[in-house]
Amino acid sequence: MNIWRLPRVPDNSVLPQTLQKTRMSHYTWKNGQCNSYFITLDIFRKEVQNNGIENEFYACPVFSYGMRKYGRVIGLNQEEVQKTEKDTVQLKMEEMQLEIERQKELLDENAKEIAELKKLFKDSGREQTSGVPHDYYKDSLEEVYEIVSGLEKYTTEEVLFYAAQILSELMGTKDVAIYTVANRDYARLCSATSREARKLGNSIKYTAMGELYDTLKNGRIYMNASMAEEFPLMASAVYDQEEIRVFLMFWGIPAERMTQTEVKRLTVIEMLLQNAILRASRYMANFRRQRYLEGTNVLNEEAFTILVNAFLEAKEKGLTECALVEVDMAYESYEDVSTNVACNIRQTDYMGLMEGEKLYILLANTDMKNAEVVQERLRKLGYESTLKEDVA
């Protein structure tokens, strides 16, 4: 049951569709008396405890299994009880019918999408290019889907790392990079499967990438027909509604495979992966704000430990670069140290607690050489630090 206590006004957007046009009943509970019959056992139990203190609230009518039993106690006659129960049953039935219709529409949409994917995948296999080994095209849509489903075994923090590995396998190239959009101009490297795939750097100004950006912005797959060195050979994008959220980039694709067949293949693979990638991207974008210790920019120990483990395991598999730095706080609190340190690390880096109240910094997309640069900055602030290879 949903209850909105004043001064909050009921928000119809959170109500079931069938109740959005239903007038919300307003109650006043005072001195053991209730002026309306739309009340349930749960409300009665909560409000009767206040005994004499006036409380106003809004509530939507719902099933009340204790209505008959407690109707007499809260002043309902038998006719009012029956009318209320009949109304709520009717509302519930209408709501269930709407839900059935909605689920049917979703199933119809899914069936159409699967049919389109099968046709697209079948066409891409039929259009084999001379010089391309036949067994490259032998995998069926079911086999591709099975590989894509492998993402389900990873936590949300790990998905963007291992999506690069899966894309590498499905596209038959060892050079794949995933960039996540940071703002309206720049995207940051999230994961890459090789040094070649990191050649564009830790951040890119995607709005300045000319034909590549224009092609992706219009919802198409980019193919580098001119083999320009400054761009990947192929690229696609994952969208959140109409906005690009993630860039998928590919190198190491032989010239004989740079055809419309490959474009269709990537289209299918992207469609199968997009929900998992988009969900992980949204999750990571909101990761910090929901897990900061109150009044600080420091992640709590549980969240930070999970994140560190995800990064270090991905690093071990060659999917990202990172460094973990333990900061010697001496006799200062982590609140004070984190405030002093914040201006000397990037927005893509994370601060968090582990092993009690020890302060650590996770440097994303950072090799050992650049980690030492950060250590020198900390030293100038008066803080010694230690590079850690793993989590104790």
pLDDT digits (tens, 9 = 90+) for 44-72: 334 444 444 333 333 333 333 333 333 43
Helix axes 78-126, 260-285, angle to 10 degrees: 140
Between 113 and 171, the higher pLDDT residue: 171
Using CA atoms, how far apart are residues 232 and 253, in angstroms rounded to an integer? 10
pLDDT at 265: 86
Give the tokens for residue 253.
């694709």
**Residue 114 confidence class, pLDDT cut points 50, 70, 90:** low
Give the torsion sign (CA, 7, 10, 11, 14).
Answer: positive
- Backbone conformation region of residue 139, classed left if phi is above 0, alpha if psi is from -120 to 50, else beta: beta
Angle CA 117–121–123, to nearest 5: 120
Q: What is the residue whose two structure tokens read 């709005």?
A: 207
Q: Answer for the pair 32, 54: CB distance below 8 angstroms, yes or no.
A: no
Give the tokens for residue 88.
């709520």
Residue 176 has pLDDT above 80, yes or no: yes
Task: Give the 3-state DSSP-derived string for 204-221, with helices as H, strands as E and coil as C.
Answer: EEHHHCHHHHHHHHCCCC
Average pLDDT, the chain: 76
Task: Tell me the three state secondary structure of residue 353.
Answer: strand
Q: Answer for the pair 284, 160: CB distance below 8 angstroms, yes or no.
A: yes
Neighbours of 193 (CB within 10 A): 26
pLDDT at 363: 95
Instruction: Name the least confident of 138-147, 326-335, 342-351.
Output: 138-147
Neighbours of 141 (CB within 10 A): 18
Instruction: Name the least confident of 16-20, 231-235, 348-352.
Output: 16-20
Helix axes 301-316, 156-171, angle to 10 degrees: 20
Residue 324 has pLDDT above 60, yes or no: yes
Residue 386 has pLDDT above 60, yes or no: yes
Q: Answer for the pair 288, 364: CB distance below 8 angstroms, yes or no.
A: no
pLDDT at 168: 93
Residue 164 has pLDDT above 90, yes or no: yes
